Amino acid sequence: MTIHVKRAYRYRFCPTDAQAAELSRTFGCVRKVYNMALAARTEAWVTRQERVNYNATSAMLTVWKKTEELAYLNEVSSVPLQQALRHLQTAFTHFFGKRAKYPRFKSRKKSRRSAEYTTSAFRFRDGALTLAKMTEPLAVVWSRRPLPEGAKPSTVTVSQDAAGRWFVSLLCDDSGVKPLPANGNAVGIDVGLEHLLTLSTGEKIANLRHERRDRAALAKAQRCLAKKEKGSANRARVRLKVAKVHARIADRRRDMLHKITTRLVRENQTIVIEDLTVRNMVKNHRLARAISDAAWSEFRSMLEYKAAWYGREVIAVDQWFPSSKLCSACGTLQDRMPLNVRTWTCDCATTHDRDVNAANNLLAAGLAVTVCGAGVRPQRSTPDGQSATKQKPSRREP
């Protein structure tokens, strides 16, 4: 069976001075339109309790273009501006569905610089990509990861990161993604800081601590940045150095996570992980830096979409499941298990490695869910002697 998935292929490119100026102008117009539409929708709701949709903001854009103050919006392609309004509509849909916070205004300094083009605003022929309002194709550096044969991009997103690098992302239908042959392998995974991953097989994958490796270079660049006068050319030059260090760290981390998740999906039919709430865990200021560097959320995201592509299953066990305190041999639940305890011996005389034991318990709990739909929280005794399951409080309003 062939699964048709939308897959984005991202490449570096080197724009000419004219192309860079055109794209920078487009980024600014996209940000301006997004912020104006957000302000209009917010004002309509606050003053008149009126919900403004995409069609209304699109009509507003037509009016804005006819004014003398905003006439410069006609100088760039209209498609990225319309796409910005669609993205704002999506943001409000997620907000009203209680899946995200209220949309925020885009910042010239902090927000991502990007513009999205649909099929009517670009031409892709024989490996040459030309955007609207441009006469020359982009000088794309096609890497060893080629586009699918006969690919026809549906959207093209051009962006520039904080380090000044230019990227183009082509969204294509990839018919080459096929489910892998089924196997009976299952693995439980316990994430950590000393070791990034501990598998139920006993294997431990090292945490390379990418941020720590470049911490000295990053600190030096940031100290230099702090000494520069705000708004000066020297400050902009040093800010670029800081951004390049951050980009180098992120690139290495992403590369490692891609390799690990691809290997896990290829080797296992069922993968069991813990449903951690990382955004709450980073509130611990002693561990926030190390947790952010480990990128547990990014690891889970990669694992889930790759499993969906290749016909694998990812099971997330509740975060309150006591995987570390439960003996995987006899099922005895320990009263407490401090973080400094890395090995411990159960009453049944079984000596456990803390992380391997947790991975084995996660695997058993995950398989129990798939087989019989059993819960993954431990049964606790109530005052009347009956067993009861501890319920996790809901985070959503009624």
- Token duo for residue 149: 């044969």
Out of 22, 190, 211, 293, which one is annotated catalytic?
A: 190
Instruction: Give the pLDDT of residue 174.
Output: 84
Lowest mean pLDDT among 45-54, 62-71, 160-169, 374-383: 374-383
CB 131 within 8 A of CB 138: yes
Q: Is the pLDDT of residue 258 over 60?
A: yes
Secondary structure class of 13 (helix, strand, coil): strand
Instruction: Give the pLDDT of residue 381.
Output: 38
Supply φ then ψ for residue 393, to 5 degrees. Answer: -65, 145
**Which amino acid appears at position 12 of this protein?**
R
pTM score, whole prediction:
0.83
Secondary structure class of 238 (helix, strand, coil): helix
Instruction: Give the pLDDT of residue 333.
Output: 84
Domain boundaries, the chain: 5-174, 183-205+262-398
How far, in Å, are 189, 284, 327, 354 from residue 337 at the CA level?
A: 19, 19, 12, 9
Active site residue 69: no
In the chain, the N- to C-terminal Cα span, in Å, equals 41
If you average pLDDT over residues 218-240, what whole number do you get?
A: 95
- Token duo for residue 190: 């316990």
Between CA 275 and CA 320 the distance in angstroms is 9
For residue 351, the Cα-to-chain-centroid distance in whole angstroms is 38
Active site residue 313: no
pLDDT tens across 93-104, in order?
A: 999 999 999 999
**56-88 per-residue burial string, b: 16 or more CB within 10 A, e: under 16:** bbeebbeebeeeeebeebeebbbbbbbbbbebb
pLDDT tens across 128-165, in order?
A: 999 999 999 999 999 878 888 888 999 999 999 999 99
Between CA 300 and CA 322 the distance in angstroms is 20
Between CA 38 and CA 32 the distance in angstroms is 10
Between CA 61 and CA 74 the distance in angstroms is 10
Instruction: Give the pLDDT of residue 289.
Output: 93
Out of 116, 174, 211, 355, which one is annotated catalytic?
A: 355
Between CA 138 and CA 11 the distance in angstroms is 11
Supply φ then ψ for residue 57, to 5 degrees. Answer: -70, -30
Instruction: Give the pLDDT of residue 86.
Output: 97
Between CA 131 and CA 120 the distance in angstroms is 10
Supply φ then ψ for residue 114, to 5 degrees. Answer: -155, 160
User: Can you point out the beta strands (E) in the chain?
Assistant: 5-13, 113-118, 122-125, 128-131, 140-141, 155-160, 166-174, 186-191, 195-199, 204-206, 270-275, 313-318, 343-345, 351-353, 379-381, 387-389
Out of 22, 174, 211, 274, which one is annotated catalytic?
A: 274
Secondary structure class of 352 (helix, strand, coil): strand
How far, in Å, are 58, 261, 369 from residue 114 at the CA level?
A: 19, 28, 42
Lowest mean pLDDT among 171-175, 192-196, 222-226: 171-175
Beta bridge partners of 160: 113, 166
Active site residue 353: no
Could you say which DSSP state residue 121 is in? Answer: G
